[in-house]
Amino acid sequence: MKFEDKIRVLIVDDSAVMRRIIMNSLMKHPEIEVVGTAANGLLAIESIKRSNPDIVTLDVEMPEMDGITALREIRKIYPVLPIIMFSSLTQRGAKATMDALTYGASDYVGKPQASADPADAYKVLEDNLIPKIKALCQRATGDGNKPTSIKERGAARREALSIPVPEKITAIPSNQTPPMASTKVVRPEGRPLYPVDALCIGVSTGGPAALMKVFEMWRTPLSVPIFIVQHMPPKFTTLLAARLTEVGVMPVQEPYEGQEALAGQAYLAPGGYHLELRRKGAKVFMHLNEDPPENSCRPAVDVLFRSAAKVYGQSLLAVVLTGMGYDGLRGAEDIIRSNGVVLAQDEATSVIWGMPGAIAQADLAEKVLPLESIPDEILFRTQLK
């Protein structure tokens, strides 16, 4: 691999031991190059200017300038530079991570303890950090050439935001290749606009910021219940539900087992539990389970979509937002078979276009839209009578 093709990583952590662990882990991958390290946020900002990284790993708790403050300052200068936060999975760490995701962090990784067995620490990084670095750095310019500086990458990203979605989508930027459909799913052309009785949203990497933007754009509660699967562990989903409630006009909560779904309410699947819907007479109830993960996820979008298709049929609207992998693809097939509607976020506004890209590639999306257009599209469809 040529030098200029490598993913350039800047490591920011106040612990010399942790910096060394992260560096050693990254150096095992020939396509990754560590271009610098920094011990606090102030040094990180200066190092970004010198080292021109493709991506930054940023610790949360550091002296002089902590990671959250550094993130906000970096975003003023480099709005599209991928940044992965490192934080503990404690309640305090979860809150800090949610702050970071709100302020523009691309993703996060639970930080291994510096005192932990090195083999365990390397496994955490290999399983969680490396795939995210590769996925976040897959984006390329339209002509296939890699921008040579942060400024050029930012310009290319901003230019991409104004490029219309191509009629034929030919690639899915994701580490995983979606499975082929077992049977041909035909999305009906010229489908009538049926009234919508429920909205399902599936999202992963980049999801908290995307969901915040969607919820804060609505001025009145929707006339239907909203069911959301965001790939996150426990504690994180609780905090996310609270944030969405704060910025929006609808209460967002983690449902409890057997809870009835009500219009004008939003329900976020709790971390560690699949969310399923079941109808009993005219009412719909939510059920939680700890069945095996699907697509390596629990909660999984496929589980929600599959059950929602059975309950709501042609009256279901589903939206797939930014995320790595292809969770939601199988469930979207079920929705189309039930004559429901699926929308997908476009590549230009997605942090990672894996999940919505898989939907678009399979021709399951009735529309592929930029994030800023999705709230109005949802509002329009849920107001149909």
- Tens digit of each residue's pLDDT (9 = 90 or more) over 166-222: 333 333 334 445 555 445 566 566 677 888 999 999 999 999 999 999 999 999 999
Catalytic residue among 25, 231, 274, 350: 231
Annotation marks residue 204 as catalytic:
yes
Annotation marks residue 327 as catalytic:
yes
Residue range 96-115, pLDDT digits in tens? 889 999 888 999 998 877 66
Which positions ≥6 away from 137 have C-beta within 8 Å? Answer: 7, 54, 55, 82
Which neighbouring-strand residues pair with 8?
33
Catalytic residue among 47, 106, 174, 204: 204
Residue range 51-80, pLDDT digits in tens? 999 999 999 989 989 999 999 999 999 988
Topology, domain 3-156: Rossmann fold (3.40.50)
* pLDDT score at 161: 36
Q: Where in the chain is the domain with CATH 3.40.50.180?
A: 182-382
Q: Where in the chain is the domain with CATH 3.40.50.2300?
A: 3-156
Which positions ≥6 away from 218 have C-beta within 8 Å? Answer: 248, 249, 250, 375, 379
Measuring CA to CA, which residue among 22, 45, 40 is closest to residue 32? 22
Characterize the bridge pairing of strands 274-280 and 283-289: antiparallel
Q: Looking up tokens 């009145």, which residue turns up?
A: 220
Measuring CA to CA, which residue among 78, 44, 35 is closest to residue 62? 44
**182-382 — its CATH code?**
3.40.50.180
DSSP result, 226-242? EEEEE---TTHHHHHHH
Catalytic residue among 14, 327, 334, 346: 327
- Lowest-pLDDT choice from 27-31, 152-156, 274-278: 152-156
* pLDDT score at 102: 87
231: buried, middle or exposed (CB in 10 Å: 19+, 13-18, 0-12)? Answer: buried
Instruction: Decide: 346 and 314 in contact? Cβ < 8 Å.
Output: no
* pLDDT score at 186: 60
Annotation marks residue 231 as catalytic:
yes
CA distance 197 to 195: 7
